[in-house]
Amino acid sequence: MKNHIMVSIRMTIVLLIVVSGIYPLAVWAVGQVAFKKQADGSLVVRNGKVIGSEIIGQNFTSDRFFHPRPSAAGKDGYDPTASGGTNYGATSKKLRDSIAAAVGNRRNVPADEVTTSASGVDPDISPANAYDQVARVAKANHMSDDAVRALVDRHIEGRFLGIYGEPRVNVLALNLELQK
C-alpha cells in the first residue's frame, strides 16, 4: 500500500510539472516564435501608442467614423473583461423592443447593425452594415459616397478558405484608413 501511495505522489508531481509548467511554456514559445503578433493581442500601434486591437471591437460614436455592432459587454459596452452578449432569446420582449428602437422607421436594416454579437466585442461588421453607413460617413467627412464606398470595398475580407464564415469588414482598420 505504501508503495502505491509513493508512486501516486511521484506521478502527481511529474504531471504537475509537465501540465502546469513545461506544456504552457512550450505553447507560449511556439506562439511567440510562429505567431508573435497574434500572441501579443494583434495590437494596432500608431506613433508609438497602442490605439486598439484588430480582434477586439471598440466604440466609435462620431458621424465621421463607421460604427461597430452594438455591444452588451460591460456597463458602457466594448469591455473585453466583461465579454458577453445579452442572452436574450428570440421570443424576448426586451430584444424585440431594443431592435425596434434601433431600427426606427428605416427599412432593410442589416441585422448586425441592431443586434449585439455573442462576445460583445466583435471587431467586424457585415459589408451590408458598412454600406448602410456610407452616406452618413461621406457627409461628415466631406467626401463623395463613391469614394467612401470604394474604401469599404477595399476593406471587405472574404470567407476563410473561401467557404468558412461570412464576408466582413474590420471597423478599426476601416476607420484608420478613413482618417488618412
Closest C-alpha among 141, 129, 136, 140 to residue 171:
129
pLDDT band at 114 (very low <50, low <70, confident <90, very high): confident
Beta bridge partners of 156: 169
Beta bridge partners of 43: 53
52 φ/ψ angles, rounded to the nearest 5 degrees: 160, -170
pLDDT band at 171 (very low <50, low <70, confident <90, very high): very high
**Residue 28: what pLDDT?**
94
pLDDT band at 70 (very low <50, low <70, confident <90, very high): confident
Q: Domain ranges for the chain, please list them.
A: 2-39, 43-179
